[in-house]
Structure 1
Amino acid sequence: MRLADAARRALDGAGARKVPEDLSALLADAGLADVGEGQAVAADASLALDVPGLTAEQLRDTEDQTVRETFAAGRTVRRGQGCSVRVMAPLSIHQAALDLCAGLAAEGAAPAGRKAYRVYADRTTTASATA
Structure 2
Amino acid sequence: MTGPTPHGRADRRSAGELESEVLAALWATEEALTPAEIQAEIGGSLAYNTVHTILRRLYDKGLVLRDADGRRGAYRPAKNAAELTAEAMRQVLDRGPDPIAALQQFVTELSPEEEAAVRDLLGGSGP
Provide TM-score, normalisation by structure 2.
0.23
Greater RCO structure (CA 8 Å; 6+ sep): 1
Which one has the largest radius of gyration?
1
Provide TM-score, normalisation by structure 1.
0.23
